[in-house]
């Protein structure tokens, strides 16, 4: 029987799943593990500047690549540094495989007072912490390693959630049978009787309708099922709107596209009316939160809708366990295809506001900046927008064909998108990353910019310099000292981070911005653009969002008082 090592087996499984880039940092408890894993063909090491950035990068790889990503950290200090990134992956259904190198079994068994511990002999503490933000966990032993690796990886595939694998130092190179590698891991399948029961019930529901409105959410992305939504959109009587975490899931130029739905803050009132007033609303892979519903200003009733979740379907109050999203989407397609629906009139999703008619030499503000971006964005772009002014400015754009928006609307951890750009660029090298990030957010994770350039990626990075935390200023206390940040020389940072060849520009007017767009036209050259904007100015959508936050905070404070 062919054998391999535990590290080799884990690496081979990851490569089979498409997790071809291994993000992380080395530590003394991971060195043997890394040597074993990186001896496997097809797995590349992507070293980051810290573990949090590595977790963010892995998250970006998994989101954009529509496949699992892998992260390796050392015991204790490394895994705790990565934990916020893993928590974001859990909140937003991203299958990151977190591999933690641990002390040897002998050392743990005798409670050795080792570094990276609390000197109390409890070596499973950090695994217990990870249970709160992962869907499955294991600490490997040679006797169970292959079955446990397969079990945990299947959970990541089936749930689209992060998982945790602890590998003791002496286990990493232990010999294990390799025979199971000949059979790739499969994903969970639907229960056939449940699918047929769902089909019959949905047919009765559809028979009374003349059209269907689909609200598509980010879990469609996580399962890589965009093609099924696109096929559904080709049928008569179908309209498709997207949630903020899945903007442009269907190309926004498609005649069936309604653009992005955000409750009362939806850019197009036609989109809002069609979603809220739909007689048959199909919620496919959606998530319900304050930021995805315009602070719960949606008028549709989720309980009355047809819901297609990852592992079940629901029609009103009737739940059909065991009906997977990929199959429920196919059922909807089959039934709509056999219905007598008439074609619906196309609705042009609203564009960002046109550029104001003032001078090209007037100081830039948010409205003018995003209007200029709308006219420039090239097709086949991964638009990456940081939480705050960047994300909510980008949501009002109409993205060009074959483009995607990467953001983190639920977890909203500032600084996420810069390292996520590294993962996104490696996962989809055919799509150039265009990153929009505020100055405050960028300061948290800017060190990963050096890794991005060193890996040969050539993104366009727009640093929106508004002198601090503009989102919080818009909510409360705009002049408070805690809203300010230290001013940096942004255009000198790429050179300091090892990339003196990157072209860096500062723009203050629309004319200068258009010149920067021209400089960014060559996809083989990276460009960083510092965009100077007013400290208290916010995009249209964020203005509405922050007023909602401020009102909610006031109500909460009054109720507590």
Q: What is the pLDDT of residues 377-428, one digit of tens each?
A: 999 999 999 998 999 999 999 999 999 999 999 999 999 999 999 999 999 9
Q: Are residues 147 and 273 located together in one domain of the fold?
A: no
Q: Do residues 375 and 434 share a domain?
A: yes
Band (201; pLDDT cuts 50, 70, 90)? very high
pLDDT at residue 348 above 80? no
Q: Are 445 and 490 contacting, i.e. CB atoms less than 8 angstroms apart?
A: no
Site of tokens 């009355």: 304
Instruction: Tell whether 72 is covered by a domain.
Output: yes
Domain hosting 301: range is 192-337
Question: Same structural domain for residues 210 and 287?
Answer: yes
Q: What angle do CA 69, 73, 78 make, to 5 degrees?
A: 130
Q: Would you say residue 352 has pLDDT above 80? A: no
Same domain (yes/no): 42, 156: yes
Which is nearest to 24 in space by CA: 89, 84, 73, 80? Answer: 73
Residue 67: inside a domain: yes
For residues 37 and 80, state if they share a domain: yes
Residues 154 and 27 in one domain: yes
Residue 325 within any structural domain of the chain? yes
Tokens (6 digits) for 265: 């803050």
Cα→Cα distances 514→157, 389, 521, Å:
44, 20, 11
Residue 519 covered by a domain:
yes
Residue 267: the pLDDT is 86
**At residue 221, what are phi and psi to the nearest 5 degrees?**
-60, -50
Write out pLDDT tens, residues 72-98. Answer: 999 999 999 999 999 999 999 999 999
Edge-to-edge strand ranges of the sheet holding 527-532: 404-406, 381-385, 432-438, 460-465, 527-532, 503-507
How many C-beta neighbours within 10 Å does residue 188 have?
Answer: 14
- Check: CB of residue 340 under 8 Å from CB of residue 356: no
555 within some domain = no
Residues 283 and 301 in one domain: yes
Q: Per the structure block, which two tokens stand in for 6?
A: 């535990």
Q: Is 154 found in the same domain as 61?
A: yes
**One domain, residues 103 and 156:** yes
Say whether both 155 and 203 belong to one domain: no
Q: What is the pTM of this model?
A: 0.95
Distance CA 323, CA 551 (A): 40
Assigned domain for 98 exists: yes
Whether 64 shows a pLDDT value over 80: the answer reads yes
Q: Is residue 160 part of a domain?
A: yes
Residue 43 belongs to domain with CATH number: 3.40.50.970
Dihedral pair phi/psi, residue 541, rounded to 5°: -65, -40
CA–CA dist 526, 523 (Å, integer) = 7
CATH number at residue 274: 3.40.50.1220
The pLDDT assigned to 353 comes to 56
Tokens of 266: 């939806």
Containing 132, the helix (H) or strand (E) segment is: none
Residue 342 lies in a domain: no
Looking at the structure of the chain, the number of domains it has is 3
> What is the rounded (10 degree) CA torsion for 208, 213, 217, 219?
40
pLDDT at 521: 95
- Model pLDDT, residue 548: 72
């Amino acid at each position: 029987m062919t054998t391999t090592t535990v590290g080799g087996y884990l690496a081979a499984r990851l490569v089979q799943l498409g997790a071809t880039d291994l993000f992380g940092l080395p530590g003394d408890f991971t060195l043997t593990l890394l040597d074993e894993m990186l001896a496997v063909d097809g797995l590349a090491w992507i070293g980051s500047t810290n573990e949090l950035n590595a977790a963010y990068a892995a998250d970006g790889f998994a989101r954009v690549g529509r496949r699992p990503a892998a992260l390796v950290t050392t015991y204790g200090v490394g895994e705790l540094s990565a934990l916020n990134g893993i928590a974001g992956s859990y909140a937003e259904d991203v299958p990151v495989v977190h591999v933690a190198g641990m002390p040897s079994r002998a050392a743990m068994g005798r409670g050795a007072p080792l570094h990276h511990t609390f000197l109390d002999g409890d070596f499973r503490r950090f695994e217990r912490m990870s249970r709160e933000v992962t869907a499955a966990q294991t600490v490997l032993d040679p006797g169970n390693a292959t079955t446990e690796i397969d079990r945990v990886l299947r959970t990541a595939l089936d749930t689209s959630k992060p998982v945790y694998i602890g590998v003791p130092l002496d286990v990493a190179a232990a010999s294990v049978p390799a025979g199971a590698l000949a059979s790739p891991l499969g994903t969970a399948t639907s229960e056939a009787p449940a699918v047929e029961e769902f089909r019959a019930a949905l047919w009765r529901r559809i028979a009374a309708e003349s059209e269907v409105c689909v609200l598509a959410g980010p879990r469609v992305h996580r399962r890589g099922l965009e093609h099924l939504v696109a096929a559904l959109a080709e049928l008569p009587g179908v309209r498709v709107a997207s949630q903020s975490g899945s903007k442009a899931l269907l190309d926004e130029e498609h005649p069936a596209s309604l653009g992005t739905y955000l409750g009362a803050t939806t850019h197009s009132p036609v989109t809002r009316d069609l979603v809220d007033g739909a007689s048959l609303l199909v919620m496919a892979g959606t998530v319900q939160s304050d930021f995805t519903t315009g602070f719960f200003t949606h008028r549709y009733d989720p309980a009355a809708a047809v819901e297609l979740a990852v592992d079940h379907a629901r029609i009103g109050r009737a739940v059909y366990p065991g009906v997977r999203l990929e199959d429920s989407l196919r059922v909807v397609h089959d039934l709509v295809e056999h219905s007598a629906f008439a074609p619906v009139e196309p609705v042009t999703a609203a564009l960002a506001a046109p550029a104001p008619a003032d001078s090209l030499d007037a100081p830039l503000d948010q409205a003018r900046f995003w209007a200029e971006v709308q006219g420039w964005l090239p097709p086949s772009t991964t638009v990456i927008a940081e939480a705050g002014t960047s994300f909510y400015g980008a949501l009002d754009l109409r993205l060009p064909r074959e483009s995607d928006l990467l953001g983190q609307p639920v977890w909203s951890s500032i600084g996420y998108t810069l390292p996520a750009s590294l993962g996104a660029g490696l996962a989809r090298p055919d799509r150039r990353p265009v990153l929009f990030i505020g100055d405050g957010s960028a300061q948290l994770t800017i060190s990963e910019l050096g890794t991005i350039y060193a890996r040969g990626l050539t993104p366009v990075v727009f640093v929106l310099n508004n002198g601090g935390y503009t989102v919080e200023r818009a909510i409360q206390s705009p002049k408070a000292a805690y809203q300010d940040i230290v001013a940096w020389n942004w255009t000198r940072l790429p050179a300091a981070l090892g990339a003196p060849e990157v072209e860096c520009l500062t723009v203050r007017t629309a004319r200068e911005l258009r010149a920067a767009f021209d400089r960014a036209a060559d996809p083989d050259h990276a460009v960083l653009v510092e965009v100077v904007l007013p400290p208290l100015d916010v995009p249209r959508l964020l203005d509405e969002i922050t007023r909602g936050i401020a009102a909610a905070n006031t109500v909460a404070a009054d109720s507590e008082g």
